[in-house]
Amino acid sequence: MSAKPLDTIMSPSSIAITGASNNFVKMGTIQMLNLVNCGFPGDIMPVHPTEKTVLGKKAYPSIKDLPYAPDLAIFVVPTRLVPEMLEDIGKLGTKHAVIITAGFRETGGKGRDLEKRIIDIARTYGIRFLGPNCLGIVNTHLPLNITVAPILVHGGSFSLASQSGTYIAQSVKFLQKNGIGFAKAISVGNEADISLADCLEYLGDDDRTKAIGLYIEGIRDGARFLEVARRVSVKKPIVAQYVGGTEAGARSGSSHTGAMAGPDFIYDGLFAQAGIIRVDTIEEVYRIGWALATQPPLKGTRIAVLTNSGGPGTAIASTCNAANLEIPEFSPGIQESISELIPGHASPRNPVDLTFHMDMDTLAEKIPEILFQASEIDGIIIHGIMDTGFLELMYPVAKDYIPMSKEEFLKASQVRIDKLVRMPHTYGKPLLISSFFGKEDHAIDEFHGSRVPTFDSPEKAAKAMAAFYKHLLIRKRNSSGKAERPEMTVPAEAREILDGRKASAIDEYMAKRVLRAYGIPTAQEHLARSPEEAIESARRIGFPVAVKACSPSISHKTEQNLVFLNVNDEDGVRQACDSILSAAPDAGILVAEMLRGKREFMAGISTYAGFPPCVMFGLGGIFAEALKDFTIRLAPLSRDDALEMIGSIGAKALIGPYRSMGEVDRNALASVLMRLGDLALDFPGIKEIDLNPVIIEDGKPKVADALMIIR
């Protein structure tokens, strides 16, 4: 693989920094302080117009005065100075930059122009850059830290790429307290050059990174993001939060990084297709990302829950179960082994509830050993291991009855977890810990040191285990790579109808001809120009038929009484034609077979800036809008994509067999969705396609009505 710009940006051997001084309240100064103090092993060269030294390092009055071209230049200067200084580093020969300065596209108007200018300058000099309007980068294994927070070198295995710098810098204490350590962290800012997808690709290839977190306000290039993510996600878990899917979220994101958001359902579909585990909070990005980065993958669905307390056990069991994980009752042999270790009234079934119990070895070693060894169990969650956290609270109350100093007492009470923390790797099963205590508890602190994830409430551990299960499904996917468009030329008939056509010229009859040219089955139909022709058509098709007005200028046909269904005889056809022609004298008359089938779905295409055409699938019929049960994927679709779509609507039971109805031909339905995607890719002028209903007749999908809108 050829070297990528982020390889250098994340691991430079020399850095020039502009905007740092000896004034501690300046952002640039704080960032340089962190750079200097993190232990970065290369040259650091501050550029400052007047200072001789900055934070103890020799300063250079201008970029031109630097002794050589550094690997990386960092800008924390006022907005107006950026273009010229960028040009200067270009002339010097530096090819990589991080532009922290804000005030560009996210402010609209002039800022947008200024951003274009720096993009042009970068192109001219071959500079690749992160930002502007970002908060810097962290590489704990180099080490390198140019953020505003003194992120300690933990040498973790979880990496984050974020459209918010805060989630890299302001959360440092939160992460420390929860034992979470970054491998790499990248604040992407406005993504004027290097994008979130580039960061994802870089982290996907990074050996130190075992799981990836993403914070997303809007993706600029959906096709590339999808392509990169589906390649990475089968190797490494990706956890992502998307916050642009509401009116307020979109508006806020836009003034934050100028992000272009999209409806929430697009990201739901994109994440599903890409194999990304979607979460709702930044806390979940961190905690679940860290768990996935540190524990072995889950290989099945059977989870053991071990606690010293019924409430957390029940909550964990219930939350796991609701996420399709099993909490199986243990086999008699396992139950017997456990029973020997626990009080008589305690349950050995799963969850194992030791009840109030001060013998922590049972909870932290003896029973876990049994569970890790058991072939009937795939993952383990333990709640309630605690020592000094609880006993420190008890000491003042009980000290008169304890013949030891506090320190001795706490030391004597420490639980040994050294065996437990090795078990996940020995047995290849994930272990997650739940506890109401944090780092103040010696056991929890030891878990952090041993990189076993801890969760401060039971349901969080369960939700993390659910993410392991999601990644199991993602790893198991047949097609890991990009969906390939099958080799097939664009049908001539479709070209004939669509090439150069305007929105106002596509009627239902033409739309269906295009569909059939793509192999998408529709109801059999004829376009008649007179009542006589219509009757002739009906005779050929066979009664009952549907008779509809056909004109690109008529929409909402049903509401206008221009659709007649179940027409049983020639008289009926004539009456229908008369009604249609008196209301719409110029309309054609579409005579179509009446499809027999109770199950109605919808399929379609919708388009959004920044994304390839979205293929939609859901419940159809006249109630589709009210039911809102649909899902999307981005074209082109692999067969697996299409099959996953079909299986992911709420009313998927209708795919059958359902009551007296047979199973829907999933492959035929998948083909409809795949070919719809191909059609939309072939003709970028298509703005929208709405096939509703797609009726299931004898198990096969057939399009009964079609609407196609051209840009």
Closest distance to a second copy from the beta carbon of 24 (Å): 5
Backbone angles phi, psi at 516, to 5 degrees: -65, -35
Which of positions 348-387 make contact with a second copy (CB under 8 A)?
349, 351, 353, 355-356, 358, 384, 386
Q: What is the DSSP string of 300-314?
A: SSBEEEEESSHHHHH
Say how far apart CA 14 and CA 47 lie, in whole Å: 13
Whether the CA torsion 139, 140, 144, 149 is positive or negative: it is positive
Say how far apart CA 35 and CA 28 lie, in whole Å: 10
473 binds a second copy (CB under 8 A): no
Q: What is the token pair recorded at 671?
A: 């083909």
Closer Cβ to a second copy, 156 or 312, answer by number: 312
Piece of 115-123, 222-230, 306-314, 364-372 that binds a second copy (CB under 8 A): 306-314
Which of positions 440-459 make contact with a second copy (CB under 8 A)?
440-441, 456-459
Residue of the chain from 10, 17, 55, 200 that contacts a second copy (CB under 8 A): 55
Exposed / middle / buried, residue 458 (Cβ in 10 Å: 0-12, 13-18, 19+): buried
Is 525 in contact with 508 (CB distance < 8 Å)? no
Say how far apart CA 251 and CA 499 lie, in whole Å: 37
Which of positions 492-531 make contact with a second copy (CB under 8 A)?
none
68 binds a second copy (CB under 8 A): no
- Helix (H, G, I), strand (E, B), or coil: what is residue 679? helix
Piece of 41-49, 367-375, 437-445, 605-613 that binds a second copy (CB under 8 A): 437-445
Closest distance to a second copy from the beta carbon of 398 (Å): 5
575 binds a second copy (CB under 8 A): no
Residue of the chain from 532, 653, 662, 698 that contacts a second copy (CB under 8 A): 653
Binding map of a second copy across residues 168-197, x = CB under 8 A, - = no contact:
--xxxxx--x--------------------
Closest distance to a second copy from the beta carbon of 711 (Å): 27
Q: What is the token pair recorded at 119?
A: 């993009």
Closest distance to a second copy from the beta carbon of 407 (Å): 17
Residue 619: name the closest of 659, 648, 662, 658 by CA. Answer: 648
Binding map of a second copy across residues 607-626, x = CB under 8 A, - = no contact:
------------x--xx-xx
Exposed / middle / buried, residue 396 (Cβ in 10 Å: 0-12, 13-18, 19+): exposed
109 binds a second copy (CB under 8 A): no
Say how far apart CA 692 and CA 599 lie, in whole Å: 11
Max CA-CA distance within the chain?
A: 108
Whether the CA torsion 181, 183, 187, 188 is positive or negative: it is negative
Closer Cβ to a second copy, 1 or 397, answer by number: 397
The partner residues of 383 in beta bridges, in order of sequence, read: 307, 434
Which of positions 387-406 make contact with a second copy (CB under 8 A)?
389-390, 393-394, 396-398, 400-402
Which of positions 122-141 make contact with a second copy (CB under 8 A)?
135
75 binds a second copy (CB under 8 A): no
- Helix (H, G, I), strand (E, B), or coil: what is residue 661? strand
Closer Cβ to a second copy, 481 or 650, answer by number: 650
Closest distance to a second copy from the beta carbon of 353 (Å): 6
Closest distance to a second copy from the beta carbon of 118 (Å): 15
Spatial neighbors of 281 by CB under 8 A, at least 6 apart, are: 241
Residue of the chain from 184, 448, 460, 470 that contacts a second copy (CB under 8 A): 460
Say how far apart CA 120 and CA 117 lie, in whole Å: 5
Closest distance to a second copy from the beta carbon of 38 (Å): 9
282 binds a second copy (CB under 8 A): yes
Residue of the chain from 75, 129, 167, 290 that contacts a second copy (CB under 8 A): 167
Closer Cβ to a second copy, 340 or 559, answer by number: 559
Which of positions 146-165 make contact with a second copy (CB under 8 A)?
148-150, 162-165
| Number of residues binding to a second copy, judged by CB under 8 A | 120
28 binds a second copy (CB under 8 A): no
Residue of the chain from 11, 318, 339, 648 that contacts a second copy (CB under 8 A): 318
Closer Cβ to a second copy, 92 or 323, answer by number: 323
Say how far apart CA 480 and CA 475 lie, in whole Å: 8
300 binds a second copy (CB under 8 A): no
Q: Which amino acid is at 711?
A: R
Q: What is the DSSP string of 511-544?
A: HHHHHHHTT--B--EEEESSHHHHHHHHHHH-SS
Piece of 85-93, 322-330, 497-505, 686-694 that binds a second copy (CB under 8 A): 322-330
701 binds a second copy (CB under 8 A): no
Q: What is the token pair recorded at 18?
A: 């502009």
Cis amide linkage into residue 351, ω under 30° from 0: yes
Say how far apart CA 175 and CA 153 lie, in whole Å: 12
E strand residue ranges, 497-587: 525-528, 545-550, 563-567
Q: Parallel, antiparallel, or unpaired for β 96-99 and 128-130? A: parallel
Q: What is the DSSP string of 236-287?
A: S-EEEEE--SSHHHHHHHHHHH------HHHHHHHHHHHT-EE-SSHHHHHH
Which of positions 214-243 make contact with a second copy (CB under 8 A)?
215, 217, 241, 243
Which of positions 246-265 make contact with a second copy (CB under 8 A)?
246-249, 251-253, 255-257
